[in-house]
Amino acid sequence: MERSTRVSVFESDKQAEIQLIKSKLDDAQITNAIENNYLTFTTTPTATSLKVMVKLEDEKKAFEVIDAYLQQNEN
């Protein structure tokens, strides 16, 4: 069984934003997963940070998809 390294390509505390990025990556046929991590130190204990994770070999393509989306919605 081959185990692949996963890396974070997008982080947010907004569920809707995470789902949108996940959808864009799904459309580009990039396998991804959402991880939920509790934030610490300066945040409240209930605050969470959501991360979109992809395989290391898909990282560059994922960043291209995310960058295109962010640039499109900047205007």
Domain map (residue ranges) of the chain:
6-58
Instruction: Quote the pTM value.
Output: 0.81
pLDDT digits (tens, 9 = 90+) for 35-65: 987 655 555 555 578 999 999 999 999 999 9
Per-residue pLDDT, 69: 92
DSSP class of residue 17 equals H
Per-residue pLDDT, 36: 85
pLDDT digits (tens, 9 = 90+) for 1-25: 557 899 999 999 899 999 999 999 9
d(C-alpha 25, C-alpha 30), whole Å = 5
Per-residue pLDDT, 40: 55
**Tokens, residue 64:** 């291209």
